[in-house]
Amino acid sequence: ATGGVRKAACVTEGVTELLILNKHGFQKTFKKFFEEKDREKRTFLRNMSFFKPFGEEELLREAHYCIEVDFRAGETIVKQGDDADAIYFITSGLVNVIRGLIDVNDYGETTLCSVMLTKCCTGEFFGESSVLEHDVNGFYPSTIKCETNVKLLKLERSQMNLKIWESERVAALLKEKAYKYPDDNVLLQTHVDIMRSRQRKRRVMKDLNSMLKRRGRKDDKIVN
């Protein structure tokens, strides 16, 4: 845009040398670089089947708004329960999809645990709930944690062309490729069963040791 107004004043605190790059020089220097980056991102996204309904210009627009972000191994990208405000595409690296679980046993005791549901690697994505379920719940159902250093393209919902993203064809393709994590996931249920089994075993051992102690056999203990 022309005729822009500067938002702040810059005041030197000492003798200063400056290199000045005007608007024309900036565009000449960096425009080609940013355009090439957008084309690289578009090529990466084009390999994902749910982008097939996007035309080249439409896909280039989405690529332009994709932000390149990096995370180190061990860092958390999104947390379970956070607002689903973006979809992420993995350009390199490996992440773990972790579901937090609260188990309540028959005695009303609660146990907090984390279960790894799956891993996602280069060429895969997560955060589809920002598109598919935004009007229903709009939160990330799992925590995403880096197993290795990870590079991502982040596309915020506010920058999406929702007319295309929420079309029946794109939504169907996205659902087809997205991981399914139902509440009665076999892995989660298995973990619950294991946790309850361990709790019952600890309770039995505790009761037996208490019984032996009451009988005066303080030196006898059942070792788990």
For the cut 60, the answer to whether the pLDDT of residue 118 exceeds it is yes
- What's the pLDDT tens digit per position in 139-161? 888 899 999 999 999 999 888 87
pTM: 0.67
Residue among 114, 120, 113, 128 nearest 147 (CA): 120
**Residue 169's CB: how many other CB atoms inside 10 A?**
11
In the predicted structure, residue 78 carries a pLDDT above the cut 90: yes
Please determine, for residue 1, whether its predicted confidence score (pLDDT) is greater than 50: no
Q: What are 4-47's pLDDT values in tens digits? A: 677 788 888 889 998 888 877 777 777 788 888 999 999 999 88
Among 53-57, 108-112, 184-188, the least confident range: 184-188
Q: Strands, DSSP E only, in the chain? A: 67-71, 76-78, 86-92, 94-104, 110-121, 125-126, 143-146, 150-156
Please give the pLDDT value at position 200. 75
Q: Closest Cα to residue 128, out of 163, 173, 95, 192?
A: 173
Those residues whose C-beta lies under 8 Å from the C-beta of residue 56, and which sit 6 or more positions away, are: 42
The answer, yes or no, to whether residue 79 has pLDDT greater than 90, is yes
Contact 113, 195 (CB under 8 A): yes
Task: Please state, in angstroms and as integers, the Cα–Cα distance from residue 211 to each residue in 116, 203, 208, 214, 223, following that order.
Answer: 39, 12, 5, 5, 14
Residue type, 150: V
Which amino acid, residue 84?
A
Is the predicted pLDDT of residue 205 greater than 90, yes or no?
Answer: no
Average pLDDT over residues 189-207: 72
Confidence of residue 196 (pLDDT cuts 50, 70, 90): low
